[in-house]
Amino acid sequence: MHIKNTQKKQKKLEKTLTIFKNLEIPFTSLDFSNYLKRSGFWIRNKEVSTFLFNEFNKKKSLEDFSSTEIEVLVNKEVLTATVYCPKTMNPNLYLKIDQKAITKEEFEKNYKKVENEYRD
């Protein structure tokens, strides 16, 4: 069962990456994970961050994108995040630096549509 869920999760991540690439806009792992959560698919931002890192650095599926560290605000604390940006754009155009991750509680209340967290 775990292998099936892992494969389903991988397919969902790859499909979502295609959507983000086709939008041709700068994005972070938080944009990506919140998008998935709003669509009713629970995933931790850490998993998305690792996936995007691997896609950019190992698989080269983001070869038309640059990777830039930016400062973001998290609970009034300045941290860094990676913004993936089409090479034809300036990464400084990314302005959503004070977003909040959708929590498990918010997901359960507002976005969860079915019991199976690995649904399509």
pLDDT digits (tens, 9 = 90+) for 43-56: 999 999 999 999 99
Q: Estimate the share of the chain in helix, then strand, then coil, as percent rounded to the nearest 5.
A: 50, 20, 35
The number of residues in the chain equals 120
As a whole number of angstroms, the distance between CA 6 and CA 55 comes to 16
Which of these, 31, 36, 42, lies nearest to 72 by C-alpha position? 31
Residue 95 C-beta-side C-alpha neighbours within 13 Å: 1
Residue 95, C-beta contacts closer than 8 angstroms, at least 6 positions apart: none
| Contact indicator for 83, 68 with CB cutoff of 8 Å | yes
Q: What is the pTM of this model?
A: 0.85
pLDDT tens figures, 77-120 = 888 999 999 999 999 889 888 888 999 999 999 998 654 444 44
